[in-house]
Amino acid sequence: MLTRRDRVAGGLLGVHAGDALGATVEFSSWEAIRARYPDGVTEIVGGGPFGWPPGHATDDTDLTRAVLLAYLSPGGDVVRTAADNMLAWLDGDWPDRELGSTPRDIGGATHVGLDRYRRTGDPRASGAGSGRAGNGSLMRCLPTALAVEDCDRRVRESMEISAVTHDDPRCTVACAAYNEIAAALLADAGPGDAVDAGRDIAVALGGAEVTDAIGYGRRLRPAMLARTGETHLADDAAGFVLDSLSLAVAAVLDDRPFPEVVVDIVRVGMDTDTNGAIAGGLLGVRDGVGAIPDRWLGRLQFAAEFTAAAERLAGLSTVDSD
């Protein structure tokens, strides 16, 4: 039986590992990845369009860290603290960055939302607006599921932290649904029951498109996607939040080991680092940190920090941020 600590560490490091694996081929098509890596990217080697060092966090892991640090700083307003941490990242106040430097990579809605937060000072009135439905908040939302046991609060904070940058309902509801899947896995539910929990929240929130995306994910098979490149996703896995949610659902329902599934999600192509991070988070909670290869863990920039964070979160029934 996996411990809570195993699952929390698995989730945090699963995001990090999926991100780092996918960074090598970000923006590459299925055909290009197949030509260069016939068996998929199976090692964390860095590179990619932004020239990442092996295992270095991209914006996916960095912004997950921003949310995680908010939950490790109890007291006050966790939404505001998460927004402040994201703004610090934007301004270069971040490990291995020079103060004032800009991130190597940042999504458009994230940039708009954080600039608006800087101007307004209100994290609940700073999103990029309806119609901006990228996956930039889904990629960072997992710490809420790992830190908050109360369902109502977890759903509320999932949506509010999403809305700092991504306030389109497809994004806020997708984050809530994803985190209910993760929370159910953390409580030892099976993958099918966990996905049901996410669907139920999407239905309760009136998120018909999110509900449909979860249903579509149930029908996808990552091995087949990797073999054929045919996803029939709305945006062809290129950054649309519902595409990434469908792929994550497909991943967590795949009964193969963590590395095989994450490698195949990355093989789909396009927004490979973010799709790998989002799927890797759920797989890590499902399978525990022991399922992530040691050779991958040894490369990850924040491996020690995330492992220590998991110890803290696992020792608390609910992190108090009220």
pLDDT in tens, 185-229: 999 999 999 999 999 999 999 999 999 999 999 999 999 999 999
Q: Within 10 A of 42 (CB to CB), how many other CB atoms are there?
A: 16
What token pair was written down for 224?
């087949």
The C-alpha atoms of residue 55 and residue 168 are separated, in whole angstroms, by 31
- The residues, any chain, with a CB within 8 Å of residue 19's CB and separated by 6 or more, are 57, 58, 60, 61, 139, 273, 274, 276, 277, 280
% of the chain at pLDDT higher than 70: 98
Instruction: Render pLDDT for 124-137 as a digit per residue (tens, 0 to 9).
Output: 999 999 999 999 99
- For the chain, give the mean pLDDT: 96
With beta carbons less than 8 A apart as the criterion, state whether 214 and 198 touch.
Answer: yes
What tens digit of pLDDT does each residue of 24-79 get? Answer: 999 999 999 999 999 999 999 999 999 999 999 999 999 999 999 999 997 889 99
The Cα–Cα gap between 168 and 172 comes to 6
What average pLDDT does range 105-122 have in this prediction?
96
pLDDT reported for residue 315: 83
Specify the DSSP element, H or E, that contains 168: none
CA dihedral 237, 220, 226, 44 (to 10 degrees): 70
pLDDT, residue 322, reads 40
- Residue written as tokens 């709305």? 234
- Written as one string, the DSSP assignment of 215-244 is HHHHH--HHHHHHH-----TTTTSSBHHHH
Domains belonging to the chain, first-starting first, are 4-314 (1.10.4080.10)
Tell me the helix, strand and coil percentages in the chain, rounded to 5: 60, 0, 40
Q: Is the pLDDT of residue 168 over 90?
A: yes
DSSP-derived 3-state class of residue 18:
helix
CA 305 to chain centroid: 17
Task: Name the β-bridge partners of 134.
Answer: 240
On whether the CB atoms of residues 105 and 111 are closer than 8 A, the answer is no
pLDDT tens track for 16-27: 999 999 999 999
pLDDT at 260: 98
User: Can you give the pLDDT at residue 62?
Assistant: 98
Q: Say which residues have a Cβ less than 8 Å from residue 121's Cβ, sequence separation at least 6.
A: none
For 292, phi then psi, to 5°, come to: -85, 125
* Position 318 pLDDT exceeds 50: no
Give phi and psi for 251, each to the nearest 5.
-65, -45
CB of 63 within 8 A of CB of 262?
A: no
Average pLDDT over residues 176-181: 98
Mean pLDDT for 161-174 is 98
- pLDDT at res. 316: 64
Q: What pLDDT is attached to residue 74? A: 78
This prediction has a pTM of: 0.96
* pLDDT, position 155: 98
Backbone angles phi, psi at 52, to 5 degrees: -70, 140
Is the separation of the CB atoms in 259 and 42 below 8 Å? yes
Confidence check: pLDDT of 258 > 70: yes
